[in-house]
Amino acid sequence: MTGIEELVRELSPEHRREALDFVAYLLQKQKRKRTKPLRQTWAGALRRYRDTYTALDLQKESLSWRTE
């Protein structure tokens, strides 16, 4: 770790800010890789309601849930 600190001390203030931005970017990139992939195991679970409800019916129903 001290090697990095020593090198950063040699940078100009402008380059230090740039290095800090880059490190922040690397940390964000690392966090994104740790997230689990989206699972869609529910896909097709509502197939039996396909002929009962339309997309518009479901949209209206969901809006009523939000306003309650």
Annotated domain spans of the chain? 2-34
pLDDT of residue 38: 80
pLDDT tier for residue 7 given thresholds of 50, 70 and 90: very high
pLDDT of residue 31: 84
Q: What is the pTM of this model?
A: 0.45
pLDDT of residue 1: 61
Q: What is the spatial distance between Cα 64 and Cα 42, in angstroms, rounded to a whole number?
A: 23
Say yes or no to pLDDT of 34 above 80: no
